[in-house]
């Protein structure tokens, strides 16, 4: 079973097992992204859409949300749950590393996605160059620290999906020409922002 099939298989029960992305935790994490009314937001790896109502809450009816996932199963669940949301998200079944995502955005969010990227630095540099508006930011975020994420991946025998510390990740991006800063990092959350 490849990774896409894995997520398709888990989609029907994903929300039942999601315990970290509580409303308070999601609002806390999004607070480091400086979301404002009227902004355009690209939610990459949206999964079942856990962030969508909270993004909508911040950007209001004048904003725009594009929700992207390569798992048809995950995207189908997100559509079922949030197609009536205002603003109504645009749902795209795409591979963020292989496909050219249309448009430019004020904010690009990769929530619980980074360890699953095969070419993370190249992907983030491309998104920064092509998809991020001037003055925008890309946020790499998690509802826990790297120790917890890495333990989950080890238990699932996904040792290649390891998350570096926030400081290490920001340093890697800076060494590759991106203006990256740790917005927050502790055992309960992890946010690295890349600015343009």
Q: Cα–Cα distance between 58 and 41 in angstroms, integer?
A: 11
For residues 70-82, give the mean pLDDT. 92
104 or 142: which leads in pLDDT: 104
The architecture CATH gives domain 37-54+61-195:
3-Layer(aba) Sandwich (3.40)
Q: Phi, psi (5° rounding) for residue 89?
A: -65, 145
| Mean pLDDT computed over every residue of the chain | 87
Q: Is the pLDDT of residue 63 over 60?
A: yes
pLDDT per residue as tens digits for the range 156-176: 555 456 678 899 999 999 999
pLDDT per residue as tens digits for the range 8-45: 555 455 555 665 678 899 999 999 999 999 999 999 99
Where along the chain do its domains lie? 37-54+61-195
Q: Is the pLDDT of residue 76 over 60?
A: yes
**pLDDT at site 4:** 59
């Amino acid at each position: 079973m490849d990774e896409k099939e894995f997520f398709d298989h888990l989609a029907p029960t994903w929300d039942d097992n999601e315990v970290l992305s509580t409303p308070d935790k999601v609002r806390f994490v999004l607070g480091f992204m400086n979301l404002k009314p009227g902004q355009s937001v690209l939610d990459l790896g949206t999964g079942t859409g856990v962030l969508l109502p909270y993004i909508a809450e911040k950007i209001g009816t004048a904003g725009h949300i594009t929700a992207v996932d390569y798992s048809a199963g995950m995207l189908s669940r997100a559509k079922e749950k949030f197609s009536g949301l205002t603003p109504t998200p645009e749902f795209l079944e795409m591979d963020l590393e292989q496909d050219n995502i249309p448009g430019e955005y004020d904010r690009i969010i990769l929530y619980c996605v980074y360890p699953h990227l095969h070419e993370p630095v190249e992907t983030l540099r491309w998104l920064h160059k092509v998809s991020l508006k001037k003055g925008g930011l890309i946020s790499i975020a998690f509802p826990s620290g790297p120790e917890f994420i890495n333990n989950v991946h080890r238990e699932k025998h996904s040792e290649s999906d390891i998350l570096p510390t926030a400081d290490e990740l920001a340093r890697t991006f800076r060494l590759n020409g991106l203006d990256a800063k740790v917005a927050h990092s502790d055992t309960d959350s992890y946010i690295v922002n890349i600015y343009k």
